[in-house]
Amino acid sequence: MDTQIDQNPSQTPNTLIPLPTFKKSGRCPLEPYHLLFHHKESLVESGAFIKFGKRWLVDEFKFFDWLREHGEKGSHHIL
């Protein structure tokens, strides 16, 4: 029994993509740099954003989990 699974990088668990790539992809419903400025600590704690040298990487699945958890509070709410 051969099952073929269609996986692209955005749907593969634990895939980290550069923040600018995530922003340009159209999959980010909000301005990610705005979120990073206002919610850096909780985004990093959740594993949604990871700092690697000077670059920020995004775990899309964790980002959307974070957004579902914190979205009701708005973008300027201190978490």
Residue 75 sits at φ, ψ, to 5 deg, of -80, -20
Helix axes 32-46, 60-70, angle to 10 degrees: 100
pLDDT, the chain, mean = 84
The predicted model scores a pTM of 0.75
Q: Mean per-residue pLDDT for 34-60?
A: 95
pLDDT bucket at 46, cuts 50 / 70 / 90? very high
Which of the pair, 6 or 29, is modelled with greater confidence? 29
- Position 73 scores a pLDDT of 72
